[in-house]
A and B are shown apart, each in its own frame.
Chain A
């Protein structure tokens, strides 16, 4: 099956710093990627839809200036948490869908655990 690589798998940072998370589709091209946030023992909440070559579409309540998304190529999307604060600590997961195939379904990265001190 398709492989989506997410890096780093965990990161600890100081409050006020920025953290970048990468999501790569390794064996397929993805015009669309998604970023989710998951709190402990809760479901995934869609944060934004990342479209290659255009601006991301954010869900209601998600701060665009805080969670910067860049989808510069068909295999890479990045999420930057700017000026991170402890309340941003969470598990972030990306997913990607294949382009130009009849494959249906999303392929998920392994997630990034962010801890802001």
Chain B
């Protein structure tokens, strides 16, 4: 099955710093999503980005499908950005296959 690897596993930032999270996947995919899981467990959709580049405020994402990776950029980080960021791709049966996540801590 498809393997999804995320890096780094942990990231500590000072408020205002920028960061880049990476997601590598082992096979071609039709669907790639980025999520932010808040401390209460809610998975918040950030981007649906099978290919190309999208931006939403301080966040942007790029997926290079031919090279099997996606990047999530967070600029001017805030304490509310803390949490776990997951990358997920769709498997052959329609289920999302998640990476292990990047735990982000933003310090004031």
To the question of whether A and B form a pair in one complex, the answer is no
Q: Which residues of B contact A (CB under 8 A)?
A: none
Interface residues in chain A, defined as those with a beta carbon under 8 Å from any beta carbon in chain B? none
